Amino acid sequence: MKRVVSVFAQKKQTDTKVRWKGYQGEIRLVIRWNKKRKRFESLATNLPQATFSTEDVQQGYKLRWQIELLFKEWKILTNLKKFNTRNPEIAEGMIWTSLIGALLRRYLAYQAKTALNRVVSTWQVSKLGSGLLVEFWRWFARDNKKRAKEAWDHLLWLWREEGVRQNTQRDAKKGRCNSDLIIKRSLIV
């Protein structure tokens, strides 16, 4: 790999096909010069050049980290472990229910950011106030707007006090989501 990379000009992005011993077929190798680290970075993929541009491949690798974090969040917050059932339909229902709960927590975290007008940690907000969240939904489902609003206000207070981002300096320098992923406002109901 080092020998292959060294033949490319620095500061020039390269997208080429290579072959490795013991592997049938060609591998696409995307190479670019990282100015900050002063070294080459290479990505190997089997994605076709005709369908995925070099930028698409690089974006995909950036998004991969965000996906890893999402899976970590699901694993921790959904408490997905061994289910005490032999019925696959029940197990699938429990998995979907857990994932929908995680999605609702994340959605509420983004809503809290807007309501509080400050940068909050979606991770912290997702973890905080599970009991209050249950209370909010209980009153919301019973159409008791006053009690639901009290629970929601209590949640916002908790998230404002305990859910603030810890690395705001790093965020200002690097950005929160290094993948350049943009969530469109129209998706939020």
Using one digit for the tens of pLDDT, what is the confidence trace for 19-64?
888 888 888 988 888 888 888 888 888 899 999 998 898 888 888 8
Residue 59 domain flag: no
43 within 8 A of 55, measured Cβ to Cβ? no
- Which range is least confidently modeled, 108-117, 142-151, 180-189? 180-189
Q: Residue type for 87, please?
A: N
The structure tokens listed for 114 are 């807007």
Residue 104 domain flag: no
* DSSP run (H or E) holding 156: helix 145-162
Report whether pLDDT(177) > 60.
Answer: no
Residue 133 domain flag: no
- Number of separate domains in the chain: 1
Average pLDDT over residues 129-158: 89
Residue 31 domain flag: yes
User: Within 10 A of 136 (CB to CB), how many other CB atoms are there?
Assistant: 21
Residue 24 domain flag: yes
The residue segments making up the domain with residue 20 are 10-52
pTM above 0.95, yes or no: no
Residue 183 domain flag: no
136 within 8 A of 90, measured Cβ to Cβ? no
* DSSP run (H or E) holding 170: helix 168-174
pLDDT value of position 176: 59
What is the chain's length?
A: 189
The structure tokens listed for 5 are 């990379």
> Smallest Cα–Cα separation from 131: which of 155, 110, 163?
155
